[in-house]
Every structure is written in C-alpha cells, then in structure tokens.
Amino acid sequence: MQTTFFFAAAALYAVCALLPARQGALISGMTALAWLVHGAGLWLDMTAAGSLRVGFAIMLSAALWVSVAAYWVENRNFALDGLRRLVMPCACAAAALPAIFPGSLMPLQGPAFGWHIAVAVLAYSTLTIAAFHAVLMALQESRLHTHRQAKGGWLGAALDQLPALLTMEKLLFRLIRIGFVLLSLTVLSGIVFSEQLFGRPLKWDHKSVFALLSWLLFAALLAGRRWRGWRGKTALRFTLAGFATLVLAYVGSRFVLEVILHRGIV
C-alpha cells in the first residue's frame, strides 16, 4: 500500500511544480495534499513492530517531506515561488525513491533510538531547505549583478518575485541556527548510541567523520557571522559545503553501500 502512496505523492509534487505561480491557492492546497499522502507512505513504510526501516532512500524521502512542510509554512509569510521551483522536483523524486530502494529493517535499540533518528531527520531537513535557500540567493545575486530582466523565463520570473536579498539572508541564518542545534543534538545522541552499540564513545567511520566535519563548518559559519559579520558569498559557500558534507555523512555513503556495493545496514 505504501508504494501507492509514494507514487501518488510524487505525482502530486510534480503537479505542484508545474502549476503557474498565479494559482497560489491551488498550489498551497496541492502541496498540503501531497505532503499528507507522502507522510502516510513514510509512516506505513518506516514503522514495524520493534523495528525501523532505514536506508538512503527513506532518509532522503523523510528529509524532503519535512522540507516541503518548511517551504509551505515559509511561503505563507513570504513570496517564495522560486523555492517551490527547486523543492517540488526534488520532493517528487525523493517521494518515489523508497518504492524503488526499500532499504532494510533495523531493530530499535530502545525507544530513545527512535528519537535519535527523528532528530537526525529534522536536522537533515532543516539544513536541506537552508541549502535550497542558499542556491536561490546565489541565483538571485547573480541576476542582480548581470542586470538581466525576466522575459518569459520561468526561473527568472520566480527569482524576481523573491524577497530582498537581506530578507532571504535573515531566513537563511534562521534556518541554519535551527539546523545547527538539531545537528548538535544528533551528534551528541549518536555518541551515546555508539557507546551502547559498539562499546566505545565514538566509532570513527566515514559517517562520524563527515557528520563532525559538517558540524564544524556550520559552527564556523555561525561564529563568523557573529563576530566577523560574514554574509554574501562567504555564507553561501559555507552553507553549501556544510550541506554537501552532511549528505556524504549518511545519504551518500548509504547510497554507495546499498546500490553500488549491495550491502546491508552497517
């Protein structure tokens, strides 16, 4: 049944991506419907008696599910149609992925382990939407510097409707602060569960190294913002570098293990 939900959500996200910006009420309603259908598929697929389904596809799908919710809420306060143009195609692909790459079931190591996974998904999701913001800001800044006017291009028109760069920057750093707190909780709780599972405080594998590197990049960005006033291209580079490193920490490595090497959960 969850496969039907996943493909239905993907189709609804595709419709949301293609609708013209003037149909704001319809876009909002379709987004909410797609999000509910997607969430139902995730719930049915991830939960099992005493187990949790994990894998790169389900993690990525859950992250985009939360990112869609963040877009939907933000779009009610700011004109962010350009963000829809980026988020919806990604959500469309991510919604269908668990039906193609199901991952595997992992026994829950106590009820707190589920909270660790939930916080990790929230951290991924918040920093994913921050990365989308960073890409939009880079495109918006490039458009301003080249003094190009939108003439029929859907992306150019969407960029012209975005809030001012200063407003976008404030939104970006608000998301990064929230994401950094969640990422910090993920790293700390991961250390706790690493001690329970492997008998040592931290297992120095690729996931740990990339997660800590991502944490350091976002910490440096927030510190630079606080004491050096970092903004503009510096902030965008740190945001995208931190996000790329975070993707490598789990989603990228799990993709290699599951799809290329055909190995189970490690």
The residues that bridge with 54 in the sheet, in sequence order, are 104
Domain that holds residue 87: 2-260
Higher pLDDT, 182 or 191: 182
Number of domains in the chain: 1
Residue 176 DSSP class: H
Indicate whether 143 belongs to any domain.
Answer: yes
Tell me how far apart the alpha carbons of residues 242 and 248 are, in angstroms, rounded to a whole number: 10
Domain membership of residue 123 (yes or no) is yes
pLDDT exceeds cutoff 90 at 180: yes
Burial label for 123, CB within 10 Å (0-12, 13-18, 19+), is buried
More confident residue, 244 or 50: 244
Do 38 and 68 contact (CB within 8 A), yes or no?
Answer: yes
Q: Within a domain: residue 265?
A: no
Residue 250 domain-assigned (yes or no): yes
Segment 24-45 shows an average pLDDT of: 91
Position with higher pLDDT, 197 vs 203 = 203
Mean pLDDT of the chain: 81
Residue 75 lies in a domain: yes
Who wins on pLDDT, 53 or 223?
223
pLDDT of residue 219: 94
- Provide the pLDDT confidence category of residue 211 given band limits of 50, 70 and 90: confident
Q: Is the pLDDT of residue 259 over 90?
A: no
Asked if 3 contacts 38 with a C-beta cutoff of 8 angstroms, the reply is: no
Which residues make Cβ contacts (< 8 Å) with residue 256, sequence separation at least 6?
A: none
pLDDT tens profile 61-112: 988 998 899 888 888 877 777 788 888 999 999 999 888 887 777 766 666 6
Q: Is residue 266 included in any domain, yes or no?
A: no
- Is residue 197, in this structure, part of any structural domain at all? yes
* Residues 6+ away with beta carbon under 8 Å from 190: 116, 120, 208, 211
